[in-house]
Structure 1
Amino acid sequence: MPEFRGAAHDARVTSRIGRWLGIAFGLCFVTGLLSHGIQHPPAWFSWPTRPVNLFRVNQGVHVISGIVSIPLLVAKLWTVYPKLFAKPAIRSLPHALERVSILALLAAAFFQLATGLFNVAQNYPWGFYFVTAHYAVAWIAVGTLLLHIAVKLPIIRESLSTPVGLQQEAAAGLSRRAFLRSTGLAAGAAALATAGATVPGLQGVSFLGWRSTRGPQGLPVNRTATAAGVGRITDAWRLEVTGPGGSRRLSLAELTALPQTTAELPIACVEGWSQSATWTGVRITDLIGSVGAGPQAAVRVESLEQGGAYRVSELPAAHARDPLTLLALRLNGEELDLDHGYPCRIIAPSRPGVLQTKWVGRLVVTG
């Protein structure tokens, strides 16, 4: 059997990296649950409209903590991989169950990090629906992680209470302290390389700050009009607004003639990028109020696009009545580009980009 004498293969190193990894995983899990709840809300769930950057922060933390978890997981595996070669492979039934749980944890963790990374890049080389699979496996990853921590808790406590440099023996490779410093630097570099997608001040140094400035009118586009099957919008287009007091059909000229509101609001996408812009349009609360909607009314928003999971979105009552929730007609002082949703789109504070529906054709009061 080979002998592994590297200083990094030490419970003190493993426990400290595991603590960092647990924090990163915990942040990623909690913010991921919130993101899923916003997009697919159960009846009891509500998400506030203020501060306007709340979802931007949530999703930025979610993606950055996931990216940081990658070097931490690799480093942790490096510290423990010699145990994979321990003999005998199975010592008892409890030991077998422990090994199976570790295998499930590793499989779930790598699945989450790999698919999350592909999602950030908007690349889906698989046949399953990412959202459902990512959400389900997240529970497996966290459940097996908690089980692993419970089993190893005595070792973790002892290792964390013992100084890293105590009884440092001569060994190949980096010292324990040097390995921990290198791991910390790798995690910090991963965060810095990607944080610019969310943090405007870091765009210049985050070389992996994807989609931060590209796109028409200086704002990125995830789904173009061509991809959505939306062609040329003619003068015959009308916005239909339906509520308890009846229906209205409004041309673009009629919408432009209504009182306009201008607000600076971010587009914050589930892939982790976000950017603020200046939007001008008609308040949703004014539009639905004109067809008899009350202050507790929710709104179904229907797009002109031909298909897709988010062709129809729901504006909860809190967002529908917020004065900053707009049917936007202009972006940064210009008429909306077709890829940004011309003739009109939803822009609401603290909402995911996938729910800021473009190419709106109909608003229906539902509550």
Structure 2
Amino acid sequence: MDHPPRPSKRSGALPPLPTEPGFWRSPVRGVRFTAVLGLVLLAGLTLLFVTGLLSYAAYNPDLASVNDKTPDRGWLGFYLFDWPTHPYWLYRLTQGLHVTVGIALIPVLLAKLWSVIPRLFTLPPVTSLAHALERISLVLLVGGALFEFVTGVLNIQLDYIFPGSFYRLHFYGAWVFFAGFVAHAALKTPKALQAIRSGELRSRSKGGGVGAGAHRAPKTEDDLASPAPAAPTVSRRGAFAVVGTGSLFMLLTTAGRSFDEPLRRTALLAPHGWEDPGSGPNGFQINKTAAAVGVRAADTAGDRWRLVVSGPAGDVRLSRAQLLAMDQHTSELPIACVEGWSTSNQSWRGVRLRDLAALAGYPADAPGVFVESLQPRGSFRSGALRDNQVRDGRSLLALRVNGADLSLDHGFPARIIVPAAPGVLNTKWVTRLTFGVL
């Protein structure tokens, strides 16, 4: 941390302002300290961006008139492709990495921002066109990073306080951040590598004390090091240890959400870490209960509920008893949620989607199926699946799980279960399937 500025020896002199180098006195700051943090973020944020695009591809089938949650996305929609169903744990891996790595990088991001604070107060603010471009990239980079991390953390904590759709906000925010990230990385990565190669990671004062000042490579000016550093309380390596320990703590208290007991109990910072899902066949994690979304047991009663299967052959209405009388198949699949948590494999049993598609007269070149739920109008009431997901033999309209009927919270009387699909597309309380929607 920064120490208070030294009192001036001049009578009546004011203490230095943040725009003056003498204001920033921490001996930890220096180009190599910032460079190491920057390279860690370069690798980590690249992974976050790639896995984020994969999450959008998995979540948002290219069914523009039905399920596209990002209007006017234009050429930014290049990321949409036929999300595979093999391996079945693919989304569990990519989204687990996206959320867990993002949380673990929070201490690194905060340390990096702290390390470059003096540059925000440099005068004059712009000295050349190149410098102006660099400053603009910083606005996009810092603003975008803070926006993405804050909205992402709020989302995984199930705090939906956004003024609009989280999906749209996070999507567009990611591209604003990425523009600044690419520009900044192009400008700074060569300098960061040069700074790291220029000498030891610890700094040395004229007296040789570790962490007392900024070591400068020959002919290289360290513009982040204080010209009048305070007495050191921690070395730069000690500062790295603090940041690393913070990241490790964040990792250990969130990663368990992607595993089974007893590791799930270590997810102290995850909203589902310490929840007890109960015991028995339906004793595994859910995101929201039926009561939370307004689905009542009366709505699912056998004398009221019917599944409507719609397609080129017309509409077919099926009771749960009729569905149970059809050929039943079993799939061993997990549920992986966009918030980063997942379950172990559960044994699902029900009717194959491709058998229901055949009943609806599903054509060979059809684009997929539109799924509607009993859930009252609002988010996640409906979704779409692609053709490859419909035709996969493991994709089911599940009626039972682990040898028992689905509980109401797990989607009774029927729910979708598809390999490698985000949990939000494994729609619960299904009431209508429309095949060949486009």
TM range (shorter): over 0.9
Distance 2:362 2:174 in 1: 39
Q: Which residue of 1 aligns with 2:271?
A: 210
Q: Which residue of 1 aligns with 2:54?
A: 34
Q: Which residue of 2 aligns with 1:275?
A: 343
Q: Which residue of 2 aligns with 1:193?
A: 253
1:51 and 2:51 correspond: no
Q: Which residue of 1 aligns with 2:106?
A: 70
Note the C-alpha offset of 1:5.
4.6
Q: TM-score of the superposition, structure 1-length normalised? A: 0.92
> How do 1:1-367 residues align onto structure 2 when only pairs under 5 Å count?
1=20, 2-42=22-62, 45-165=81-201, 168-169=204-205, 170=209, 171=212, 172-200=232-260, 202-212=263-273, 214-215=276-277, 217-231=282-296, 232=298, 233-234=300-301, 235-276=303-344, 277-294=346-363, 296-297=365-366, 298-366=368-436
| Residues 151, 248 of structure 1: alpha-carbon distance in 2 compared, 3 angstrom cutoff | same
Distance 1:174 1:164 in 2: 16
Tell me, yes or no, if the aligned pair for 1:280 and 1:328 is still in contact at 8 Å.
yes
Tell me, yes or no, if the aligned pair for 2:383 and 2:427 is still in contact at 8 Å.
yes
Q: Which moved more, 1:120-129 or 1:237-246?
A: 237-246
Unpaired runs of 5+ residues, structure 2, are 1-19, 64-79, 213-231
Distance 1:227 1:165 in 2: 52
> Could you give the per-residue CA deviations for residues 68-91 of structure 1, whole angstroms, max 9, x where no partner exists?
221111111222223334344443
Distance 1:199 1:163 in 2: 42
Note the C-alpha offset of 1:166.
6.1
| Residues 261, 108 of structure 1: alpha-carbon distance in 2 compared, 3 angstrom cutoff | same
| Residues 315, 154 of structure 1: alpha-carbon distance in 2 compared, 3 angstrom cutoff | closer
Note the C-alpha offset of 1:302.
1.4
Distance 1:11 1:184 in 2: 18
Distance 2:265 2:43 in 1: 27
Tell me, yes or no, if the aligned pair for 1:6 and 1:174 is still in contact at 8 Å.
no
Distance 1:361 1:166 in 2: 64
Amino acid at match of 1:356: N
Note the C-alpha offset of 1:294.
4.5
Amino acid at match of 1:198: S
Whose radius of gyration is greater, 1 or 2?
2
> Could you give the per-residue CA deviations for residues 328-366 of structure 1, whole angstroms, max 9, x where no partner exists?
111222211212211100011001111111111111211
Unpaired runs of 5+ residues, structure 1, are none
Off by >6 Å, runs of 4+ in structure 1: none
Q: Which moved more, 1:233-242 or 1:139-148?
A: 233-242
Distance 2:170 2:419 in 1: 26
| Residues 83, 271 of structure 1: alpha-carbon distance in 2 compared, 3 angstrom cutoff | same
> Could you give the per-residue CA deviations for residues 42-70 of structure 1, whole angstroms, max 9, x where no partner exists?
37611100111101111101101211221
- Paired positions, count: 367
Note the C-alpha offset of 1:112.
0.5
| Residues 222, 166 of structure 1: alpha-carbon distance in 2 compared, 3 angstrom cutoff | closer
Distance 1:126 1:247 in 2: 39
Amino acid at match of 1:24: G
Q: TM-score of the superposition, structure 2-length normalised? A: 0.78
Amino acid at match of 1:284: L
Distance 1:52 1:154 in 2: 40
> Alignment identity in percent?
42
Distance 2:182 2:150 in 1: 21
Note the aligned Cα RMSD (angstroms). 2.1
> Could you give the per-residue CA deviations for residues 11-45 of structure 1, whole angstroms, max 9, x where no partner exists?
11111111111111111111111111222233761
SS of residue matched to 2:179: helix
Distance 1:209 1:129 in 2: 22
| Residues 135, 323 of structure 1: alpha-carbon distance in 2 compared, 3 angstrom cutoff | same
Tell me, yes or no, if the aligned pair for 1:53 and 1:349 is still in contact at 8 Å.
yes
